[in-house]
Structure 1
Amino acid sequence: MNQSRRAARMGRHHKRRGVVALSLTSMMDIFTILVFFLLVNSGTEQQLPSNQSVELPQSLAQQLPKDALIVMVSKDDIIVQGRRIMSADAAEKLEDDVLPALLQELKLQSSNRLTVAAEERNPAIVMGDKTIPYRLLRKIMYTLSEANYTDISLAVMKKEKPVS
């Protein structure tokens, strides 16, 4: 079968080039970088730790928690980032609004956190049991503000909207 001049020229050109090997090294580098990029950027929302000793109040709040310091307050203990700081009874009995043991731990946690700028807000999430007294919650929030945690949030369970 006769080929056109163009088809014959293309055939000769392809015979000269031979088999082209695909370079997998650069492709693997690109995929490795892509995997790390996706892993780092997929974890922007923070999952709050679950604890059976803390029963959160319910709310219709829609906002998800961001990366922040977690202060958990159960009926018995005050826990910062999973570490027990003091008992809730001892904190409640203190006359002063500032809880010294909690303040010391908060300053330690603040110094350990990586901050980009000095004016950046220090976020904190208080996971308080729904039965703790308000004066204890107020003392904890006041101590957080004394430790320069300016963005304080309260953790709640998302309540489903009633169907009407």
Structure 2
Amino acid sequence: MKQSMRAKRMARHHKRNQAKSKLSLVSLMDIFTILVFFLMLNASDVQVLQSDDSVSLPISTADKAAAETLLMLVTPSEVLIQGRKVSTTAALARKEKRALEALKAELDYHTARKSQLPEEKASQQATAQTMAQSITMSITIMGDSQVEYAVLKQIMQVCASAGYTKLALAVENKSDTGSALSAGGMQ
């Protein structure tokens, strides 16, 4: 059976258009590269403080984002610094000397760890005064809303005596979109 002219023309047309249906991956890869860079640059808006189920933070309208500092967790039963148990809240409420000394010792330990510089940099430092000025001593206290203020005040006094002059209390931010952790600072 012989093909008509129309059928031949359609067959030629289909053969020509089959070669042009390739997908250009170069532009697609460019788009994904730009998307990855965009997400990497804008991913810095992450929550710094980890919420803990054992601590119910007070609710506030603080708008200052929390910075990454030494973290002290004060639950109704115990006090933890960077996840390490230091004392009990009841012992601090009774103003036991041993509990206060343990808290101060742990803070001094973290101060010593933070102030240790590599030997190369230490030899380049002119005086001990410039070393002390270059180290900013700040701490964020995540205190449970059930903990008495007198205990928190006592903890803040121990922090100040250990050299942590920049104190921040973590609160749960009450906003229209939901809740996030914030830190209100005191100096």
CA drift of 1:43 comes to 5.9
**CA deviation after TM superposition for structure 1 residue 91, in Å:** 1.1
Shift of the 123–45 alpha-carbon distance from structure 1 to 2, 3 Å rule, reads farther
Aligned counterpart in structure 2 of residue 144 of structure 1, from 159, 162, 180: 159
Alpha-carbon distance, 1:45 to partner:
6.6
Segments of 5+ residues of structure 2 without an aligned counterpart are: 1-36, 118-130, 178-187
Cα distance per residue 1:27-67 (max 9 Å; x no partner): xxxxxxxx9xx79xx66976112211110001111111112
Cα distance in 1 between the residues matched to 2:59 and 2:47: 19
Q: Deviations over 1:47-96 (max 9, x none)?
A: 11221111000111111111211110000000000001111001111166
Aligned to 1:52: 53
- SS of equivalent residue, structure 2 residue 132: coil
- Alignment correspondent of 1:28: none
Q: Letter of the 1:158 partner, please give it.
A: N
Question: Does the C-alpha gap of structure 1 residues 157 and 148 become closer, same or farther in structure 2, counting only changes over 3 Å?
Answer: same
1:48/1:115 Cα in 2 relative to 1: closer, same or farther (>3 Å)? farther
Give the number of aligned pairs.
Answer: 124
1: CA distance, partners of 2:45 / 2:102: 30
Structure 1 residue 144: Cα displacement: 0.2
Structure 1 equivalent of residue 66 of structure 2? 65
Q: Which has the higher helix share?
A: 2
Distance change >3 Å, CA 45–CA 139, structure 1 → 2 = farther
Q: CA 1:45–1:108 in 2, change beyond 3 Å: closer, same or farther?
A: farther
Q: Which residue identity lines up with residue 132 of structure 2 in the other structure?
A: A
**What is the SS of the residue equivalent to 1:78?**
strand
Q: What are the Cα deviations for residues 103-155 of structure 1, in whole angstroms up to 9, with x where unaligned? A: 00000011111578411320100000011101100110000000000100000
Task: Name the residue aligned to 1:32.
Answer: none
Partner of 1:122: 137
In structure 2, give the amino acid aligned to 1:135.
A
TM-score, normalized by length of structure 2? 0.59
Does structure 1 conserve the Cα–Cα contact (< 8 Å) formed by 2:49 and 2:68?
Answer: no
| Equivalent residue letter for 1:157 | E
CA RMSD of aligned residues (A): 2.8
Partner in structure 2 of residue 15 of structure 1: none
Give the 3-state SS of the residue equivalent to 1:143 in structure 2. Answer: helix
Give 5+ residue unaligned stretches, structure 1: 1-34
C-alpha change, 1:45 and 1:125, in structure 2 (3 Å) is farther
Change (3 A) 1:112 1:44: farther
Task: Say if 1:67 and 1:115 are closer, same or farther in 2 by CA, change over 3 A.
Answer: farther
